[in-house]
Structures are given as C-alpha cells and as structure tokens.
A and B are shown apart, each in its own frame.
Chain A
C-alpha cells in the first residue's frame, strides 16, 4: 500500500484534524501537598506539629551523634564536651564489645566462625541459591559442632582451650542467637507435630510444655537454668555456666517456634495429608517429604520474626552473669577511666544502632519473603 491510497478519501469526507494530547493532569507537587498534607484544617495543623516534632528529634539526634560529637582525641576531649557523643570511647572499646576477654591472639577463630556462619545463613536464606539442602545440613548439624570446637579449642587440633568465662560481647550475643535457632527449630517441629498428634499422652506432654514455657517470663527460665539445673544433676554433670543459659534459650524459643510451625501445619490443606496416606506413605515420610517442606516454607516470615524476638531476648542473659553485647556496653560505660557526661548515652546509642541494624535487616528480609510467598500463591 502506498501513501497515496492511505490519504485518498474513500467518501467525500474531510479528515478529522488530529486533536491535541490531553492536558497533563498528573498531580504535581502542589496537588500532592494539598492532598496529603493540608487536605483539611486539622490535617494541616497535624502536619505542622509533626514536622516540628520530627525536625526537633532529628536535630537532637544528628547534633548529638554527628555535628557536636567528638570524633578524635581522648578522654579529655570527651569530658570537655557535654553536647555530643564520644566516639573515641567506642573506638577504644570496640574490640572488647566484639570479643569480650577472648585472647587477642586467638580472635581469628571468632572471626572465622562468624564468617562461616554468615555465609551459611546467606546460603540458607537466599531462595535462589543452589543446593539449599546441603546448606541446611551444614548449618544445623556440622556447623554447631565445628563452631564449638573452633571457639573452645581442642588439644588434638593444636588450638589452645579458651575458657568460656573469657567469651563475651557480640560473640556471646551471636552465639546465643545461633544456638537458639539451631536447636529451637528442630525441637519446635517435634513439639508442633506432637501437639497435633492423635495420641493423647504425647499431645498432653507437648501442650503442657509449650503453654507453660510460653506462660512464664524468659528471666525466670534463665533463673531456673542457673539455680536449679545444678541441683537437678550430680555434681560431675553440672553444666558449664555458659551452657546453662544456652539450654534455657534453646528450650524457651523452641516453645515459641512450635507455635509458629503449628500455624504452618494447620495451613496445609487436609487433602495433602489424605493424599499421602492414600498412597501408603508412612507418617515419617509424609511429614518429611510432603507436609513439612510446604509448612516450613509458608512460615519463614514468622520464623524470622521469632528469631528477631530471640535475638533481642539474648540481652537478658546478663542476669545470670554472662557478658553479652549489652552487658559489655554496660561494663564499658561505667569504666572510671572514661567517666564523662555523654559516655552512657554514647554507649546506649551505639548498642541501639547495632541491635537495630541486625533486627531491621532481618525484618526487611521477612517482609520481602512474605511478598514473594504471596506472589507464589496468587493464581
């Protein structure tokens, strides 16, 4: 077809002239401000109040943490400045906050353990990573043993034994959380299955355990572990002072994990169980191959939320004399060498930033996972 034929009118009708494109009605900044900040007089007043409030808070925070903060120099510089944070204090205490009293020459062991742990966690949580089953086996079975041997030391490996009383700081916090998740997840799965079991005694035992543990504060569980565990066993079996809170944290979080897993088990349609039974698959294989993979996948966001709670709860182990990260900050804060007007605030600010960074990162992951799962279920 040539241009000619296109432009030749078929009937004796003039071509309609092209109309102008519609006016740009996309909301501009003024419309947005009107709609979102000053839609009603009350809204306008609120906007102004909240801008002032947020501005004041932000100003306070930034001037304390950055503008008026002491960035270099020593104690004298900090003592002379009551306006801002004392970052040299954190710089000097940094290694103590990270490792506690772990011997300096052996700290590479901590670094190595943590690097391996981080790698395994990324492998496990990154949904597109290959061979995640291998990662799971490594993380839940091989890693705890290897990490313990590496951190504690063993004569046959030519690694000097480091007593657990020397461990401290972020090392303890991470150790507590990792132990918590590594043990609470499998125990939680067993408890959740037990709670849904048809066998009355098994069900009763699981329900009692879960409800009692969830009904009491973590501090009391820690107290129990610390004061009563040595009474429960003969003297030669008395657990190490670090092992007692570890057992407490594993049992405590497994009760919470059990409820999370139970929610996942309940979300699996009954047809899945029935189909498996109809095919003659045994209970163990049905759970292992059909139900649990689906159930655990849907509850990943809740597992991460529980883990965030567990991570925050590790701060409580200070009550039984374990020097976790927050306890290390507390110890550093009252160091008389550094006595100054802003040392406490600086310490808490730093601790807050560290905890916030970990927890916020995890909650973001959990939200992303939730969106991804929601996408998968949409048809």
Chain B
C-alpha cells in the first residue's frame, strides 16, 4: 500500500496549520507553563517558609503533640506524637462516616420508598422531609443540632434518665458499659454458631424452594436461632455478662460509655442531610424500573412487599449504586464540617490544631488531602467492583 502514497506530500511541513503540529504545540505550551508555575511556586514557597521559620521537613511527625483529644478510639494522651494525633483523627473521621453512612442509607431507603407510597399522607410527609432538609445548608443543620438541641440539655446533676441506666445531659449520652466475665466467650461462640446455622438453613431453604416450590420460614428460624442460642448459653454459663450502670459522682458520671454531644450532633446531622439525598436517589431508581415489572409480579401473585424486595429493588439497585457511591463520598467529605462543632476528626485535629501548632502548612495540607483522596479512590474502586457484580448480564 505504501507505494500508493504520494511521495511529495509525505514530508510534513512544520506549520501551525497542521492539526498534529498544532496539538503538540498546545500541549508543550500547557506542560511548559504548568511546570514553570509549579517551579516558581515551589521556589517561592520554600523561600517564604524559610523566611518565616516554618519547618520544611516532616520532623514534627515524631514530636510530642501536647494537646488532649476527648474522643479517642486508639490509645492517645498528651504525650503522644503528632503522628499518633493524625491517626486518631483518621480513625474518628472513618468512625463517624461509617456510622452515618449506615444510618443515612437506612433513612434514605425508608424515605425514598415512602415517597412512592400509595398512601397520600406518608408520601407527603416524606416529600416535605426531603424538600426541607435538602434546601438548608448542612452547616446550619449541624449548628442547630449542636447549639440549639444538644447543648441546652440539663447539666449532669439534673440529667434526663432513660430507663435502662441511660442518662442524657449536656455532656452527652451516657450508656451502661458492658463487662465480660469468664464464660462470656461461650456466649459469643453460641452467637457465631447461630449465624452459621442461619446461613446453612438459608441455603437449605433455597434448595427446597428450587426443588419443591415450598417456602420455608427462613427469617423466623434465623431470628429464633440468633436470639435463642446466645440466650440459652448465657443462662447455662451463669450470666457471664453484666453492665456497669453509670452513676453521678461530683459533677460528672462515673462508669459507662459516653457518647459526646459533638459526635452525636455530627452523626445526626450527616445522617439526616445525606438521608434526604439518598431518598431522592432511591426514588428515582425505583421509578426507573418499568411499571410492567410491578404488574407482572402482581399478575404472578406476589405480594406488594415481595414484589418490592424480589423484583423492583434488585433492578433499581443497578441504577441506584453509582449515585449512592458519590453520596457516601460526599458524606465522608462533609464529615470535615466537624471542625465547626469541635468533633475531633482529621481536619479538626490535623489541619486545625497540628497545623496551628507546627505551622507546617504545606506538609499538613498535603497529608490531609492525600487521606481524603485515598478514601475517595478506595471507595470508588469498591463500589465499581460491586457495580460490575450487579450489572445486567446481557445474553
């Protein structure tokens, strides 16, 4: 074929009228100017930092932090290093995000399905919730929960007592602490056995249904096993689990777990706010499933609940999952608003306190941004995998 090409035109002229040359020219221009900008900023930053006495290294990582954090899920005290403070922040961010994601998903699915309810009152209440919550800034909602709801609660001396040894006051929610005695392991073992039996029974029920069409009461049997096994073992082993009920001593409570108001406000705020977005995603996902699917399921005699659970939701999930992922990421990013109400998350501890104490703005910001980017990338990858798993299989 090469014989047919015109020899006279084979040599390209280096002119800007040539599309390829122009493309390379623009790219070199962009890359060059970006490099120059980065270099300029780098040199300027280094000289500015030196002039202001700001450390240029990561040495601060192993220095003692010297400040206290009220909520720590991993060991930490005032003598710990900045590095340990960083990990406390990361864990706190992940902890509140994880719980809020669970609650928001639950709330979102309930509200999203409620919006499509045949019941006029239910759907209107659900719609109002979505319209109100979505259109008010998250920060305002957080401040409201924290300053207007949780802070005006009574002081520890006049706590609101909730049956079961739970106390609510302006320092948070205090719940009884679980104490394990020897033999508690057996109860845990019984629970594990119950989980195993439930799964085995579920598989067995599936096989029975495939073979005979008979439906076994999987839910009831599993529930009985999950509650019954540990209960029997609990009584047999002589009640090896007890609760330490919190009691008032001086100005504060002793014993029990404390749920801080900052944590509670952030958890409630994030769940309620993101729940309204998830509700909209669920609603549009369900609406996108063709109506014929519902009608066909009804025609086959499936109850409305089963239709929703077995026919509609599995198909809707395919549409729901990509936007749901981005809502989970939004929630995780929005947990950084913790800094406004003093919940010790990554931004509050690291990009706030540590940055102010060390002045190492560039290093601290780079680390903080990398953490969020990493969370973002890992979540998208996990969700993409799930998405592929649940994607439609075309024949």
- Identify the A interface with B (CB < 8 A): 35-37, 39, 43, 46-47, 50-51, 53-54, 198-202, 205, 212, 214-220, 223-224, 227-228, 230-235, 308, 312-313, 315-316, 318-319, 326, 330, 333, 341, 344-345, 348, 351-352, 355-356, 359-360, 363
Interface 0/1 of B342-358, CB less than 8 Å to A: 00000100010001000
Asked whether A50 lies within 8 Å of B135 as measured between CB atoms, the reply is no
- Does A216 lie within 8 Å of B337, measured CB to CB? no
> With A and B bound together, what is the CA distance between A51 and B125 in angstroms?
9
Evaluate contact between B372 and A220: CB separation under 8 angstroms: yes
Q: Is the CB of A201 within 8 A of B27?
A: yes
Evaluate contact between A220 and B120: CB separation under 8 angstroms: no
What residues on A are CB-neighbors of B44 within 8 Å? 231-234
Asked if B337 and A219 sit within 8 Å, CB to CB, the answer is: yes
How far, in angstroms, from A132 to B34 measured CA to CA in the complex?
36
- Asked if B120 and A37 sit within 8 Å, CB to CB, the answer is yes
**Contact in complex: A352, B144 (CB < 8 Å):** yes
Q: Is B288 interfacial (CB-CB < 8 Å)? A: no
**Contact partners of B391 in chain A: CB under 8 A:** none
- If over half of A's interface residues share one DSSP class (helix, strand or loop), that class is named, otherwise mixed; here it is helix
Of B121, B334, B368, which one neighbours A47 at CB under 8 angstroms? B121
Residues of B291-337 whose CB lies within 8 A of A? 329, 333-334, 336-337
A50 to B122, CA, bound (A): 6
Q: Which residue of B lies closest to A311 (CB)?
A: B137
For the A-B complex with A43-B118, A46-B121, A312-B138 known, give 13 more contacts whose Cβ atoms are closer than 8 Å.
A43-B122, A47-B122, A51-B121, A202-B27, A217-B336, A217-B372, A219-B337, A220-B336, A220-B347, A220-B351, A220-B365, A228-B365, A312-B136
Name the residue of chain B whose CB is nearest to the CB of A235. B48
Of all chain B residues, which has the CB nearest A347?
A: B148
A356 to B134, CA, bound (A): 9
**Chain A CB within 8 A of B132 CB:** yes
Q: Give the distance in Å from the alpha carbon of A356 to the alpha carbon of B41 in the complex.
A: 41
Residues of A within 8 A of B337 (CB): 219, 316
Q: Is A330 in contact with B365, judged by CB distance below 8 angstroms?
A: no
Across-interface contacts of B243 in A (CB, < 8 A) = none
Decide: A352 and B30 in contact? CB cutoff 8 A.
no
A318 — which chain B residues lie within 8 A by C-beta? 139, 340
Q: For residue A199, which residues in chain B have a CB less than 8 angstroms away from its CB?
A: 23, 26-27
Check if A50 sits within 8 Å of B365, measured CB to CB: no
15 contacts across the A-B interface (CB closer than 8 A): A37-B119, A43-B122, A199-B23, A205-B31, A215-B329, A217-B333, A217-B336, A217-B372, A231-B44, A316-B337, A341-B152, A344-B147, A355-B135, A363-B134, A363-B135
